[in-house]
Structures are given as structure tokens and as C-alpha cells.
Amino acid sequence: MNFKEFADLVVAAAKNAGLTEYELYHSGSESTSVSTFGNEVKSFSSSVTDGICFRAIVNGKMGYAATEELSADSAKRLVEVVMDNAASLESEEKVFLAKPAPAYASVEENPNPVPSPAELTDFALKMQSVVAQTDPMVKMSETQVFTDGMSLDIINSNGVNLHYQNHNDGMFSNVIVAEGEVMSDDFAFEVKPLKDIDLKDVAAKAVDKAKKKLSADVAPTGAYPVVFAPGAVHSLLGTFSSIFSSENTQKGLSRLGGQVGTKIASDKVTLVDDPFCKDVPLQMPFDDEGMPTAKKNVIENGELKTLLYNLKTAAVDGVASTGNAHKGSYASKVGIAPFSMYIAPGILSEDELLAQVGNGVYIESLGGMHAGANPISGDFSLQSSGFMIENGVKTTAVKSFTVAGNFYSLLQNITEVASNLKFPMPMGSTNFGSPSIRVDGLTIAGK
């Protein structure tokens, strides 16, 4: 039984039970990956998930039920569970279902065929060979090549009937280099059609990054101007983006409640959420409630312009949904998340930004985000690695030092933004990007 046939059964059962406000949410995903170590295949994995969430408004309460079984019995059971679930709720929150929009943006689907397991394997083994030939200091390497596909259907009693599908491919290469007894490792990756990936370029990037870390020392303790590389800002945004959720402000889990229209960051900061960003693998024309998506400036020249909303939280604040409804899985309740959130680039190159700094610390990567960062208070104390900045250029590699501060204060203390906007590795369905940024007022704890 396909989804349309199953949906017809659920709708018939819902109408027979007297339900007039309901929604079917169908999410499917297929993922295949191959990992190689040396000249051998280390692992192969393939997974398929396909699930349906049915929700309905019963006496003003939203009941949920989910299944992976597409059958007549399952269709009937979904309706029964939803009605029981709604009857047990005590919340007085108003709940809503989307209405059809006059128009939804069209987005481009990946026109390339999905790579076969054999193609993924051949590509991974070829990458291993390229890495081995890149530099005699390479001692070991591992490559993972993957393809991920997804589909989404939303049908509701208001007339919403939406479908989306797409896929993306990519690879990840980790290398270990050695000089005498000293070893270090690093990685590089690309998320794009395999035919468009330059293997030599990816290998060279990974090897170069690993070699630069061979002589790394612990950074000296002090207060420095800090330049965060795009990858480090990616980690910070991924951890603290929840402060822009209206759901969190309404629950008191963010300090941005009531701050729309006020200055929360430096003039240098414009923070964008763009569902149609061309620099990320997947673009989305509608959110997980079926509302149309839109590009928006969350922060514009330091001023908080909007929070991110779904239908329920928008009603609480008396505004329109921003089209940021999000479900962590087909069975999840509706929450909120950005699509492609990034700090808009400035006009200076990274080299020009470093020249302005003079002396400071360049942080390339951050670790310990789960233990060392508090998304509610904004405080963070994170393990870091990168380079010293001396006379305006990156010099000695440094590691095993801690950078501490507060994300709310960090936004206010960004004194310069470079032009090198990059989107490091995607975090699920959300992407975070940034150029390099300069932040003053941070403390480095090292040796």
C-alpha cells in the first residue's frame, strides 16, 4: 500500500469518527554510506525509514499518533489513538493547522542520479589512493562516502497537499600524518554530487590541516582579540541558535523575549535564515506544518528583527508564522528550527581582518559543546585549537586551550566580519554558516 492509498483510509476513518480538523505527515529517508580504511572497505550501511504522523484537533486539543505500518487496521488505529491522546490532555494552549498558501516557492532538485553502492565504494577507494599519494607524511586515512535521500508529504483537512523530495551526496576524509614520533590528524569534506568533487583538492586540504597541527603547543593564557574561523562559528550557532526560537522565549529559556526591535548585537552582525540558500545541499519551500518558507533577517545590523515561529507560538505573540515549524522525526511534535542560518559576510578578506587584529588568537575548532555550553544562559567554556596571530598573520599552531565567554555578549562584541562565508558540515536538516569573525573581550586559558 502506498502513502496516497493509506492517506485515503485514514481520512475516511477520521470523517467516520466525526473529526473535521486533521493532518497527515509522511516522512521518508534513505541513506547509504561506505567507509574505507587503507585499501579495504571498513563498513557498509544502508537504512530506510518511512513513517506517518496523524494529528487532529479534538475538542480544542491536538492529539498525535504515529506508525510505520501502512494497512487498513493501522489507519483505523491511528484515529482511535489520536482521539484517546487528545482526551487525556489538560493543556489550554490554542492549536492550529496550516491553510494553503497562495503560492510556494519552487526549488531545484538534485538532477543527478542516486549513486549505487558500487559507485560509492569505487569513489571511496579512489579517494584513499589519492590521499596516500598526496604526501609521504600520510600514515593512515579513512574515507566515508554517502548518499542521503528524503521525501515529505503533508495533507490536511484545510486543503494543504504538499510533496517534496530530494537527495544529496558527499564524502568525508580523515587523515593521520606523522613526523618522527609526533602524529596529528584532521579532515576535509564536501557535500555535492560526487562527479563535482575534486579528490586531489579535498585530500590536499585534509593533509595540509593535519600537518600544520604537528608542531602545535598550548596557547598562553591571556586576554586577546579572537578571530573565530567559519567552522568555529558554525559550532557556536549550532549550539545557541535555540535562543532565537519563540517557543523558548515563551518558556523563559531564552533572554530574547520582548527584545524584538532592540539592539542585541554589534552593527556588524546581520544574521540570516534562508531556506533557499544555494550554498547548502537542500532547499525547502515549506516547513513541517505546511507553511511557506521565506528568507528573513533575524538580526539586521545588530537589531533583533524577528524570532522564529510556528503557528502555535505565532498566535501567542500575535504575529504571523515565519515558516520555521520543525519535527525532529515523523513521530515528533512540532517544534521550531532554522533552515540555513548564517552571519552575512562583510567586505574584508580574512587576511585583511587578521592584519587589523595584529596580535591575537585564531580559533579554528571548538570542542565539548554539550558539556561546556549552556544554551539557556549563553555561557560557554570550550576546548579550542587554532593558531596564534602575530603581526597580522597566522603563525604557531596552538591546541588544548579554553576560550570562555557568553554568547549574548559575544554578539555584542563582534567588531569585524570577513567576506569568506562558508557552510561547514550540515547538522541534520539545519545548516549553519559564517565568515570569520573578530570578537574582543574573551579570555583564553592555556599555559
Tens of pLDDT, residue by residue over 323-361, are: 999 998 999 999 999 999 999 999 999 999 999 999 999
Report helix, strand or coil for 235: helix
Return d(Cα 399, Cα 186) in angstroms, integer.
13
State the first-to-last Cα distance of the chain, in angstroms, to the nearest integer: 64
Partners of residue 156 on adjacent β-strands:
23
309 has pLDDT over 70? yes
Q: What is the dihedral of CA 121, 122, 124, 127, to 10 degrees?
A: 170
Whether the pLDDT of residue 425 is over 80: the answer is no
* pLDDT for residue 427 is more than 70: no
Question: Long-range contacts: 90-94, Cβ < 8 Å, 24+?
Answer: 91/61, 93/312, 94/60, 94/312, 94/315
Residue 91 has pLDDT above 90, yes or no: no
Among residues 19, 26, 18, the alpha carbon closest in space to that of 2 is found at 26
Distance, CA of 413 to CA of 419 (rounded, Å): 18
> Directed axis angle between helix 199-212 and helix 117-134, to 10°?
50
Question: H helices of 146-256, where?
Answer: 199-212, 230-240, 246-250
How much of the chain, in percent, has pLDDT values that exceed 70? 99
In the block, cell 486543503 appears at 159
Mean pLDDT of 282-306: 96
| Rounded Cα distance, 286 and 293, in Å | 5
DSSP string, 388-443: EEETTEEEEEEEEEEEEEEHHHHHHTEEEEBS--B--S-BTTBEEEB--EEEEEEE
CB atoms within 10 A of CB 339: 25
CA proximity to 445, closest of 372, 357, 370, 371: 372
pLDDT at residue number 277: 92
Res 428: pLDDT = 63
* Average pLDDT along the chain: 93
- pLDDT attached to residue 87: 86
CA neighbor of 68 nearest in space, from 331, 332, 335, 333: 331
Confidence (pLDDT) at 296: 97
- Please tell me the predicted confidence (pLDDT) of residue 429: 73
d(CA 331, CA 278): 29
**Backbone CA torsion sign across 406, 408, 409, 412:** positive
CA dist 339 and 329 (Å) reads 15
> Which whole number is the average pLDDT over 416-435?
87
Query: What pLDDT, on the 0 to 100 scale, is given for residue 192?
Result: 87
Residues in the chain: 447
CB atoms within 10 A of CB 364: 23
Residue 99: per-residue pLDDT: 95
Specify which residues 437 forms β-bridges with: 228, 417
% of the chain surpassing 90 pLDDT:
80
- What are 205-255's pLDDT values in tens digits? 999 999 988 888 888 898 889 999 999 999 999 999 999 999 999 999 999
pLDDT, residue 438, reads 97
pTM for this predicted structure: 0.92
Residues facing 147 on adjacent strands: 32, 169
pLDDT, residue 73, reads 92
Contact 75, 7 (CB under 8 A): no
Query: pLDDT tens-digit profile of 154-201?
Result: 999 999 999 999 998 999 999 999 988 889 999 999 888 999 999 999
pLDDT of residue 307 exceeding 80, the answer is: yes
3-state SS, residue 241: helix
Helix axes 3-16 and 72-87, enclosed angle (nearest 10): 50
